[in-house]
A = this chain, B = another copy of it.
Amino acid sequence: MSPRGRRPGGGDTRAAIITAARTEFAAQGYDATSLRAIARTAGVDPALVHHYFGGKPEVFAAVVDLRVDPAALIARVLAGPREQVGEALVRTFLMVWDSEEGRERFLALVRSAMSHDEATRMLREFLIHEVFGRVTAALAHEGVDREELQLRAGLAAGQMVGMAIMRYVLRFPGVADATHDELAAMLGPTLQRYLAP
């Protein structure tokens, strides 16, 4: 390390930023953590954080090992036909999580959110601002207030999280062996009713 504590570029820098971000997100929550604070903890220039990750949601996605950019995936779903939003969300969820290593990462995320208050808060704030904020803003329509939109988005998320627990954890017959088409046919209309009635 140099005397000023700044690291050179490369894999070490990226790893150092992720480690620092994990610390900051856990201590401050998602909302109160800045890229500047992450850079300071990592001992790197803030420009390097931008360079490696883009922005805060991408740093968070790296910390929780998402391996996808949720904003980009959601934008793609929302750009499609409104009457197919429900089914498209189900298929996107399955694309991200429904592989052997996807399940492992999903379970690690849920277990951590269920056992550590810091992880719970971090995940909640991230979901609200980077995932559901986008969905509800795009689907907002007259006559539905903000609180009801949040309820609807939360129940849609709950349906997918709960399905995943039945499929990956409890390995419930019927759910564990359903195809993506079967799940999309059953769950699509549920999400559609919640999000774009």
Name A residues whose Cβ lies closer than 8 Å to a Cβ of B. Answer: 107, 110-111, 113-115, 120, 123-124, 127-128, 147-155, 157-167, 169-175, 177-178, 182, 186-187, 189-190, 193-194
Contacts and interface: CB of A to CB of B under 8 A. Distances in A.
Please report whether the interface of chain A is mostly helix, strand, loop or mixed according to DSSP.
helix
Nearest to A159: B159
A136 to B, nearest CB: 9
Contact of A187 (B107, B124, B155): B155
A153 B174 CA distance: 9
Given A127-B170, A128-B173, A154-B172, 4 more contacts: A120-B170, A147-B174, A157-B166, A165-B165
Contacts of A150: 172-175
Contacts of A169: 113-114, 120
Stoichiometry, copies per complex: 2
A128 B164 CA distance: 17
A113 B170 contact: yes
Contacts of A152: 174, 186
Contacts of A175: 150-151, 154-155, 158
Contacts of A166: 154-155, 157-158, 161
Contact of A111 (B115, B147, B161, B189): B115
A161 B169 CA distance: 12
A159 B162 contact: yes
A186 B159 CA distance: 12
- Shortest beta-carbon contacts, A-B, top 5: A162-B162, A150-B174, A158-B162, A154-B175, A151-B174
A115 to B, nearest CB: 7
A172 B114 contact: no
Given A150-B173, A154-B166, A173-B128, A114 B123 contact: no
Given A151-B178, A152-B186, A190-B159, A124 B165 contact: no
